[in-house]
Amino acid sequence: MKNLILSFSFLLPTLLIAQTSIKGKIMSRGTPLQLANISLKKTNKSTTSDAEGTYTLKNIALGEYDIIASYIGYKSETKKIKVTDSTEVMIDFNLKENNTLDEVVVTGTLKAVSRLESPVPVEVYKPTFFKKNPTANIFDALQNVNGVRPQLNCNICNTGDIHINGLEGPYTLVLIDGMPIVSGLSTVYGLSGIPNSLLERIEIVKGPASSLYGSEAVGGLINIITKNPKTAPVFSADAFATSWGEMNLDLGFKGNVSKTASVLTGINYFNYSNPIDNNNDNFTDVTLSDRISVFQKWNFNRKSNKLLSMAGRFFYEDRWGGEMQWEKKYRGGSDVYGESIYTKRWELLGAYELPVKEKMLFSFSYTDHDQNSVYGDIPYLAKQRIGFGQLTLDKNIGQHDLLFGTAIRYQYYDDNTPATITEDINWIPSLFVQDEITLHENHKLLLGARYDYNKNHGNIFTPRLAYKWKINDNNILRFNTGTGFRIVNLFTEEHAALTGSRDVIVLEALKPERSYNANLNYLKKIFTKNGNFIGLETTAWYTYFSNSIIPDYDTNPNQIIYKNLDGYAVTKGISTNIDMVFNSGLKLILGATYMDVTKTENGFKTRQMLTEKFTGTWAISYRINKLFLDVDYTGNLYGPMRLPLLGDLDPRKPYSPTWSIQNIQFTFNKFKNIEIYAGVKNLLNWTPNKGNPFIIARANDPFDKNVKISNGNTNDTSNYGQQGNFVPKDQVVDTADNPYALTFDPGYVYGPNQGIRSFFGLRYTLK
């Protein structure tokens, strides 16, 4: 026993000595990276860096290790180390920014591929980009993406859609994890319910993608990719409030269910209940809203390491806008005007990689959307269910990277309007194939085609072709061409009819729109001798539409007339993005787009409604290391748009001015795991009412009780206006009470009606 104790006495110092610590700093271009991840491969040792970028791994046993440093938006770096004694090991890292050029993307080809290698141009935006101007939902966050514009369509209920390169919202397909669950009703009311807390990244394809994704992907698509439970933070919280009284809270937390699965839960709550009327028209400037969104995503661990994931989301919103004295007791009545919308929505989506040798993936989604709305005294009650299933086979044969797929889409829609006499049920089966051919190390050709069958429109075929020439590592040229198709959904097209201001008139059985598109993309990377980076990407496009379905506001100011265009429509333009990263800590993201969106009918060419000639966006960031402070200055600029007037006497401007929304934010990040941010939105205090006598027509008479309509009798003097002019049948007569011959109309809108406001927020992240 004495010998055992003596031996242990000699051994104990050796055991104590046989452990040490690893220390170092995580930097990028001279800037410390807070909350960077540092881990020892094949051990449970990991930590995060503090505000000065320093880290410590304690109690490391003797041996050889791979130490990995990673940070969102930067390339991970791995170093080999050898711990041989108790001497403290110093390992520093200098991470390089990813610049999103080497990101893995899936949207362009339905395959995971480096963005640089994809024949289809894909833009990638990470959460760090959207944090430069914090918003309560993804719809608002997209305002700083070049060529993408969130468009408000109603001054009262603030419904909106997303324009890409000047095309209306119904031409844009919005996906969540590759599943087309944002469609129809949710295009109008579902976009504002997608919280930023779910976001891993957003991939954007500009131009038709119908050959892979079917109808609605004519103008482009936006794929919102949610976080992976395996890599998400253990807990995160982000809360902010504005001086207008808006409050937003995002919570996220993850956990492991033994060794079987990992689960991520996200909760978003938004409340705005402070009616404001700064333009003095007795209507709320911004819609009031109380909404909650709960999201959960499961990733299951399979022995084969094949993919199995499931996700679900519940969304509920109670929103209203209208006269300042409106209360719920007036809902649906004709005493006080209000637009009240209750939205209840369920979503389910998943992906299962089949247990076979070949790479086969089955993806599915289902949504149930219940809309209970009133627009003044007009009820709109609607139900929509969409189911989608898709099976793909990914196979490589020599120089051919093949993708085969089949899909089926189930659509159910019913509402209480005369346009829907019976519920509409439709099954749309599809087949598609894609072949990416490696002609040479630097030359790739992609060929694809899709076949859809719709019971109302028969067989629909959409081919595509893409070519990529990698001139060298820093210069890439891409050419894409193909066709697209779109089937109209009138509620999605024009919700303004529900306000009672205009009647929807459909003159014929509408045929699907067809489009023919070509675009040329050039990407250039520049690395300067002193370590600065410049990325330049330019795209020119041309799209021709046949059977175009464009709402006619001009023929009759009280109607929205739909028919297939007896002619053609064209959108063309050029867009440029510039990313610059300097050693000084300055980062610039600049974008500019020039476009020409027109229609030609009976030999007359006119500019389409609500399309701007040019746009510009910017995000300028600078870090002041000594103060632990990041400064972000973001903004956008929009050229004039043609606006919907209600007749020749309407005194509102026929074109919007050039306008800009600009924001500034200061983020303090000295404390571990915590960011404190504050700033000002809409620094210029711009609102659409500037330069106009009013925005909402006949706001003093929203039920048109004092509007006089002509019966068309030339012998009846009441059919003659104040100027003595005869007014045709069913047109508004100008009177002393209504000198501009207007009806109530909140559809004269092209930008947000919310002025300058400050905000303050706090973020906490536990890795």
Position 652 confidence tier, pLDDT thresholds 50, 70, 90 = very high
Q: Once rounded to an integer, what is the mean pLDDT over residues 7-31? A: 66
C-alpha to C-alpha distance for 682 and 662, rounded to whole angstroms: 5
pLDDT at 138: 84
**pLDDT tens string 357-367:** 889 999 999 99
**pLDDT tens string 673-687:** 899 999 999 999 999
pLDDT at 389: 95
Do 17-94 and 226-698+749-766 fold alike per CATH? no
Domain residue limits, the chain: 17-94, 104-225, 226-698+749-766
Phi, psi of 559 (to 5 degrees): -135, 155
| pTM for this entry | 0.85
The DSSP string of 413-466 is EEESSTT-SS-EEEEEEEEEEEEEEEEETTEEEEEEEEEEEETTTEEEEEEEEE
pLDDT at 490: 58
Could you give the percent of the chain with pLDDT greater than 70? 91
Residue in 301, 224, 223, 293 with CA at minimum distance from that of residue 252: 293
Strands 533-546, 247-257: pairing kind: unpaired
pLDDT at 422: 82
- How many CB atoms are located within 10 Å of the residue 261 CB? 18
Collapsing DSSP states into helix, strand and coil, what is residue 130? helix
| Residue predicted with more confidence, 65 or 666 | 666
Is the separation of the CB atoms in 541 and 517 below 8 Å? Answer: yes
Class of domain 104-225: mainly beta
**Identity of residue 7:** S
226-698+749-766: CATH topology is Maltoporin; Chain A (2.40.170)
**pLDDT tens string 441-459:** 899 999 999 998 888 778 8
pLDDT at 400: 93
Is the separation of the CB atoms in 361 and 307 below 8 Å? Answer: yes
- Stated as kind and residue range, the H or E segment containing 309 is strand 308-322
pLDDT at 319: 94
Q: Which CATH superfamily is domain 17-94 in?
A: Immunoglobulins (2.60.40.10)
| Residue predicted with more confidence, 624 or 508 | 624
Measured at the alpha carbon of residue 591, what is the angle toward residues 643 and 189, in degrees to the nearest 5? 50
**pLDDT tens string 405-443:** 999 999 898 888 766 778 888 899 999 999 999 999 899
Collapsing DSSP states into helix, strand and coil, what is residue 491? helix
Phi, psi of 331 (to 5 degrees): -60, 120
Does 11 have pLDDT greater than 60?
no
